Structure 1
Amino acid sequence: MKLNSICSFVLIASVFVGCNQSKNSESETKDGTRKLVIGSTMLSMQNEFVVNVSDEMEAKAKELGVELITVDAERSALKQVEQVESFIAQGVDAIVMNPCEVEASSPAVKLALDAKIPIINVNSETTAKPTSFVGSDDVESARIAMNYIVKKLGGKGNVIMMHGYMGQAAQIKRDKGAKEILKANPGLKLLAEQSGEWDRAKAMSLTENWVQSYGTKINAVFAQNDEMGLGVVKALEAAGLKNKIIVVSIDAIPDALQAVKKGTLDATVYQNAKQQGSKAIENAVKAAKGEAFEKEVLIPFQLVTKENLSEFLK
């Protein structure tokens, strides 16, 4: 019986060794060195711009020969913190986070830094300072959008603003930028403002309510992202008001560019998903290897109208 127990133990140990060797071989590069593993938690994979950023991260990770594990936080900061905890437990080499909220996602940054794992925030910010931030100045994006409205309305008229997910950095900063321009142009009145939560269907429903309340009093709508902007356009078209109301949004996703081409969306503000995604992975890899990297990367926004649309269409 004792001999049988020893044999069983040896057999089990051999199986475990075999499993471990198999796992390690999958994580090795062609030259025998271990592949770097990066964990990525994204705000919402139901959002087209976020998906575009994630796709670029995947492409860059493949190019650099690193393994990328991507999870969807589904707009939940609590879930995002738990996902970062899971990455830490897995022993990843670096983490890229597309934060759900400025405050509520901040504990994830501290957890990673306490575990001595570099964490890169992409596209959106947290109060807690990460290892590196890669994104754009959202205040500037709103200034660009609102200045376009000022120009089109001649500095006078009633404007409605549709917010993104409340508490997220982009929503907070785009609100700030828009309010700066409104304050500088007293001829513009903010008729109403509410959150459409970055969602096309919710934006359409919200716009239908605004049409019922204000009708032709509305001169322009600033939607803080294209998904909402396209929902606004659809509702205004159904009400027969699109030709009378200016609509501007942010991101320049493919659907929005086509809407600008058709003339249903007056303008969008281009945010470079490709550069944000690829640079986030580059910084994560450099930080994991102990190499020099940029602490902050700000990629400029650009106004897109029919006049310069050809520069952005693929």
Structure 2
Amino acid sequence: MKHRLRFASLALSMTLASGAAMADVKIGVSMSQFDDTYLTYLRESMNERAKSNPEGVQLQFEDARADVVKQLSQVENFISQKVDAIVVNPVDTAATRKITEAAVKAGIPLVYVNRRPDDEKLPLGVATVASKDMEAGQMQMEYLAKKMGGKGDIVILLGDLANNATTNRTKGVKEVLAKYPDIKVDQEQTGIWLRDKGMTLTNDWLTQGRKFDAVISNNDEMAIGAAMALKQAGIEPGTVLIAGVDGTPDGVRAVEKGELAVTVFQDAKGQAYGSVDTALKMINKEPVEQAVWVPFQLITKDNAKDFK
């Protein structure tokens, strides 16, 4: 069975509510930005899940364009339109309080997807569907540490510093590094999740004459950018080990080709289906888990074909 289907059980455990109550349901969805590769898969899967409901669920997607103020305005517009529920992929996980307060005050169910707000305790009427990012960092670093024989120099490509996914994935990496004192971090800089930024940073490090044995990237896009920079520099694929996170189609192909040593699968479909299902259950006033966690899975060359 393909691994990307493994979370069918999650979807089945949160079955869509049926009956007249679900007819013409409207859910407002604010995405932090449309031009993010992983979030595109997330958005497409949310739309797919909504369309699978025979009673009619309409998703109204809005692009916050990485702007906190714009995202709050979008949520306020959803509230004024009296949508049945709101789903938010936050721009800044430390700046969600006003969004939460506005939705709760209006009595509209709110689901945060993919990125959990920094607030440790969320009020009733608010749920999250995400993955535990620290585990992704732990998984990729543990795999590379063993491949490196427990010694060497690494560089870290950080995601957007406004997202706790960046903080937590990197924290997971460093927790593992604490067990390997002979692995040193030479550089860490933000590539804000982008392939071209990952490529530019890696190229800069090579131009500066820096030597490193591995690149730890907070996502696949930056990891692929790093692989491209190394290839342009004439460095044979696999000479420098590269690790990503997300398990996007491009990331999986890069693992198959040996351009990435490993990536960690973040289940976009599991998160997307979970967010829509949770919103519908909340609309119907059915019990829900306030925090739904979708597990990560390690992808290596040995099992990459299972994630295609």
Shared fold (TM-score, shorter chain, > 0.5) = yes
Q: Percent identity?
A: 37
Q: Which residue of 1 aligns with 2:228?
A: 234
Q: Which residue of 2 aligns with 1:66?
A: 57
Q: Distance in 2 between matches of 1:272 and 1:33?
A: 26
Deviations 1:127-179 (A, max 9, x none): 34261111110000000011111011011000101100002021111111111
Q: Which residue of 1 aligns with 2:216?
A: 222
CA contact (8 A) 2:87 2:112 kept: yes
Q: Which residue of 1 aligns with 2:296?
A: 301
Describe the shift of the 1:146–1:31 C-alpha distance in structure 2 as closer, same or farther (beyond 3 A).
closer
Question: Are 1:272 and 2:263 an aligned pair?
Answer: no
Q: Which residue of 1 aligns with 2:127?
A: 132
Which secondary structure state, in structure 2, belongs to the residue aligned with residue 250 of structure 1? coil
Q: Distance in 1 between matches of 2:96 and 2:203?
A: 33
Give 2:101's aligned amino acid. K
Q: Distance in 1 between matches of 2:23 and 2:157?
A: 47
Q: Which residue of 2 aligns with 1:53?
A: 42
Question: Are 1:39 and 2:56 an aligned pair?
Answer: no
- How many residue pairs get matched? 284
Question: Are 1:147 and 2:142 an aligned pair?
Answer: yes
Q: Which residue of 1 aligns with 2:89?
A: 98
Q: Distance in 2 between matches of 1:33 and 1:220?
A: 50
Describe the shift of the 1:30–1:148 C-alpha distance in structure 2 as closer, same or farther (beyond 3 A).
closer
Pairwise CA distance, 1:116 = 1.1
- Please provide the CA RMSD for this pair: 1.7
Give 1:83's aligned amino acid. Q
Describe the shift of the 1:214–1:119 C-alpha distance in structure 2 as closer, same or farther (beyond 3 A).
farther
Q: Which residue of 2 aligns with 1:25?
A: none
Q: Distance in 1 between matches of 2:96 and 2:297?
A: 28
Question: Are 1:79 and 2:70 an aligned pair?
Answer: yes
More helix, by proportion = 1
Give 2:58's aligned amino acid. E
CA contact (8 A) 2:238 2:258 kept: no
Q: Distance in 2 between matches of 1:57 and 1:155?
A: 41
Which secondary structure state, in structure 1, belongs to the residue aligned with residue 45 of structure 2? helix
Q: Distance in 2 between matches of 1:31 and 1:39?
A: 20
Task: Please list every run of at least 4 consecutive aligned residues from structure 1 whose deviation after the TM superposition is greater than 4 angstroms.
Answer: 29-34
Question: Are 1:255 and 2:250 an aligned pair?
Answer: yes
TM-score w.r.t. the length of structure 1 is 0.87
Deviations 1:30-57 (A, max 9, x none): 9697511100011221111101111111
Q: Which residue of 2 aligns with 1:18?
A: none
Describe the shift of the 1:186–1:296 C-alpha distance in structure 2 as closer, same or farther (beyond 3 A).
same
TM-score w.r.t. the length of structure 2 is 0.89
Pairwise CA distance, 1:255 = 0.7
Pairwise CA distance, 1:293 = 1.3
Stretches of structure 1 that go unaligned for 5 or more consecutive residues are 1-28
Q: Distance in 1 between matches of 2:288 and 2:36?
A: 29
Stretches of structure 2 that go unaligned for 5 or more consecutive residues are 1-17
Q: Distance in 1 between matches of 2:137 and 2:209?
A: 23
Describe the shift of the 1:189–1:36 C-alpha distance in structure 2 as closer, same or farther (beyond 3 A).
same
Q: Which residue of 2 aligns with 1:175?
A: 170
User: 99-108 vs 53-62, which deviates more?
Assistant: 99-108
Q: Which residue of 2 aligns with 1:122?
A: 113
Describe the shift of the 1:78–1:31 C-alpha distance in structure 2 as closer, same or farther (beyond 3 A).
closer
